[in-house]
């Protein structure tokens, strides 16, 4: 049975990741988010089980002790984790899964090599532009903005550890590039739909 | 200086390679053909120095003795070769180069690892469909068609040696996939435009 492909994706806050992903996922069938567990509170419009599995810190820690998490990390004071059984079950349905994860989590996953994955980093064209965007969206306090900028500066040093870099300068071009990476990865030799490979190679 | 990326591309006769490449190259700037040397005669409309460098067998063999060719092969009774200095000079201009090459030539290049390259194989959805297309274009004799089918059967066994497989079933989808592979390869970390990488990483 064909199993889905895992895409590990990181981006500093404000790089435009959410918009990019929404657009590409609307265009390409067969792509789904991995749903992380988190202890942070839902933002307006976020749904439990869709955007995240929202859990208490106690629940999260209990799951961690049971070895449920492939990786977990504390970011901006909240815990985020990827449930190994949930991710494997999702991939087993044949869907390609996007794992939206911070730089530390991505490094843990890469080192463990637990699941083959393509890794992508979405970056703003510059830190000045990132700051402009963070201030422009008007949802964060000055303290939060400064924290995000500081984190971005650290995160962006990991940029060359990723296979693909998507510079979100012009939105439409960045969407096209992200879309292209997914399509290209799907056309890798070992990723041919099983039926098709059999049809082609079976005749020889 | 950024050097161009090499794309090695193979396909059985009749897989639709020429149409695909024309469409993708019209859409994406910065892509050019490697111009091979060949001893075969020009077909109607083919231009010397554009489609191929057309040379006599004597000239070709003299170049081969001088070590000019990165690879060469005899296909359907004609010699085809890739001039190493010409290819390197083309890549040095920063353009991405598509090297349209047969399966044996691709294998030689891969084994020599002379130049980093992404390899693509374009395949018809089935051998029956390939035969239908070869007969449909009405340019080849029965003998040539049978030879091409026999060659295709052999060539398609190499399909899994290539990084990317493009099944040319529905043309528009195949164009989209080929285009995606080029864009995705361009977004690989080490392929960022030098100026852009400096702008992003230089600030950190």
Q: How far is B173 from chain A (nearest CA, A)?
A: 10
Asked if pLDDT for residue B22 goes beyond 60, the answer is yes
Between residues A85 and A190, the one the model is more confident about: A85
B151 and A CB contact within 8 Å: no
Out of A156, A167, A201, the one facing B159 most closely (by C-beta) is A201
Phi and psi at residue B73, to the nearest 5°: -155, 160
CB B102 within 8 A of CB B148: no
Mean pLDDT of chain B: 87
A78-85 average pLDDT score: 91
pLDDT at position B198? 44
A60/A53 Cα distance (integer angstroms)? 10
In chain B, which residues have their Cβ closer than 8 Å to the Cβ of A163? 188-189
The predicted pLDDT at position A5 comes to 93
Q: Does A123 touch chain B (CB under 8 A)?
A: yes
CA closest to A159 among chain B residues: B189
If we measure between CA atoms, which residue out of A78, A109, A112 comes closest to residue A7?
A: A109
**CB-nearest partner of A203 from B127, B176, B204:** B127
Query: Which pLDDT does position B155 carry in this prediction?
Result: 86
Please tell me the distance from the alpha carbon of residue A138 to that of residue A147, in angstroms, as a whole number.
Answer: 15
Return the residue of B nearest to A125 by Cα.
B200
Pairs of residues, one from chain A and one from chain B, whose beta carbons lie less than 8 Å apart: 104
Three-state SS annotation for A92-140: HCCCEEEEECCHHHHHHHHHHCCCCEEEEEEECCCHHHHHHHHHHHCCC
pLDDT at B190: 56
CA B31 to chain centre: 12
| Whole-number Å distance between alpha carbons of B204 and B153 | 54
Contact with chain A for residue B129, Cβ under 8 A: no
Answer yes or no: is pLDDT of A108 > 80: yes
Per-residue pLDDT reduced to its tens digit, A157-190:
888 889 999 999 999 999 999 999 999 999 987 5
Report how far Cα A116 is from the mean position of its chain's Cα atoms: 14
Q: What is the band of A201 on the pLDDT scale with cuts at 50, 70, 90? A: low
Nearest-by-CA chain A residue for B190: A160
d(CA A93, CA A1): 9
Q: What is the pLDDT of residue A198?
A: 44
Can you tell me the distance from the alpha carbon of B135 to that of A71, in angstroms, rounded to the nearest whole number?
A: 56
The span from the CA of A16 to the CA of B107, in Å, is 41
Map out the domains of chain B as residue ranges: 6-34+95-201
Strand partners, B48: B52
User: Which of A159, A162, A184 comes nearest B201 by C-beta?
Assistant: A159
Looking at residue B37, what is its pLDDT? 92
- How far does A59 lie from chain B, in Å, by closest CA? 37
Task: Round to whole Å and give the CA distance between A156 and A161.
Answer: 10
Range scoring the smallest mean pLDDT among A53-57, A69-73, B37-41, B184-188: A69-73
* pLDDT-based confidence at residue A31 (cuts at 50, 70, 90): very high
Angle at A9 between CA A4 and CA A10, to 5 degrees: 165
Closest by CA position to A8, among listed A89, A126, A108: A108
Q: Is A126 on the interface with B (CB under 8 A)?
A: yes
Rounded Cα–Cα distance for residues A31 and A6 (Å): 10
The reported pLDDT for the residue numbered B115 is 83
Q: Residues A7, A118: contact at Cβ < 8 Å?
A: yes
The two three-digit tokens of residue B25, written as one number? 């190259």
Q: Which CATH superfamily is domain B6-34+95-201 in?
A: P-loop containing nucleotide triphosphate hydrolases (3.40.50.300)
Lowest mean pLDDT among A95-109, A115-129, B105-119, B181-195: B181-195
Would the pLDDT of B202 be above 70? no
Assigned token pair, A117: 């994955």
Range from A102-106, A129-133, B176-180 that averages highest in pLDDT:
B176-180
User: What is the least distance, in Å, from the CA of B50 to any CA of chain A?
Assistant: 29
Average pLDDT, chain A: 87
C-alpha–C-alpha distance, residues A189 and A90, integer Å: 22
For position A195, what pLDDT does the model report?
A: 46
- Residue A104: pLDDT band with limits 50, 70, 90: confident
Other beta carbons within 10 angstroms of residue A34's beta carbon come to: 20
Identify the pLDDT of residue A86. 83
CA distances from A165 to A88, B189, B201 (A): 26, 5, 12
Query: How many Å separate Cα A46 from the centre of its chain?
Result: 17
Does residue B204 register a pLDDT over 70?
no
Residue of chain A minimizing CA distance to B195? A125
Identify all chain A residues contacting B188, using CB atoms and an 8 Å cutoff. Answer: 163-165
- For chain B, say whether A196 makes contact (Cβ under 8 Å): yes
Residues 39-98, chain A: which have Cβ within 8 Å of B? none
Comparing A46-60, B30-44, B130-144, B185-199, which segment has the lowest mean pLDDT? Answer: B185-199
Per-residue pLDDT reduced to its tens digit, A2-21: 789 999 999 988 888 989 99
Q: Output DSSP code: residue B52.
A: B
Residue of A nearest to B166 (CA): A187
Chain A interface, best mutation among B183, B197, B201, by max A CB count within 10 A: B183
Task: Based on DSSP, count helices (H) and strands (E) in chain A, helices before strands.
Answer: 8, 9
Q: Name the residue of chain B whose CA is nearest to A184's CA.
A: B181
User: Would you list the DSSP string of B53-79?
Assistant: EE--HHHHHHHHHTT-EEEEEEETTEE
B196 contacts in A (CB within 8 Å)?
Answer: 125, 167
Give the N- to C-terminal CA distance of chain B in Å, as an integer.
22
More confidently predicted of A100 and B199 = A100
Q: What is the pLDDT of residues B45-88, one digit of tens each?
A: 999 988 889 999 999 999 999 989 988 888 889 999 999 988 98
Share of chain B above pLDDT 90, in %: 48
Inform me whether the pLDDT recorded for B93 exceeds 80: yes
């Amino acid at each position: 049975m064909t199993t889905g492909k895992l895409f590990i994706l990181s981006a500093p806050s404000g790089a435009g990741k959410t918009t990019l992903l929404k657009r590409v996922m609307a265009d390409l069938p067969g792509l789904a988010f991995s749903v992380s567990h988190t202890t942070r509170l839902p933002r307006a419009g976020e749904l439990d089980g869709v955007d995240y599995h929202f859990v208490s810190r106690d629940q999260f820690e209990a799951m961690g002790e049971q070895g449920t998490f492939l990786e977990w990390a504390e970011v901006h004071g909240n815990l985020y984790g990827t449930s190994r059984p949930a991710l494997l079950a999702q991939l087993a349905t044949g869907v390609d899964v996007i794992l939206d994860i911070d730089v530390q989590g991505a490094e843990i996953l890469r080192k463990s090599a637990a699941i083959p994955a393509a890794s992508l980093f979405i970056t703003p064209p510059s830190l000045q532009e990132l700051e402009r965007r963070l201030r422009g969206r008007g949802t964060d306090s000055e303290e939060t903005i400064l924290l995000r900028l500081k984190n971005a500066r650290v995160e962006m040093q990991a940029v060359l550890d990723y296979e693909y870099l998507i510079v979100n300068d012009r939105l439409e071009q960045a969407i096209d590039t992200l879309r292209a990476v997914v399509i290209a990865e799907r056309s890798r030799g070992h990723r041919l739909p099983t039926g098709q490979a059999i049809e082609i190679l079976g005749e020889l």
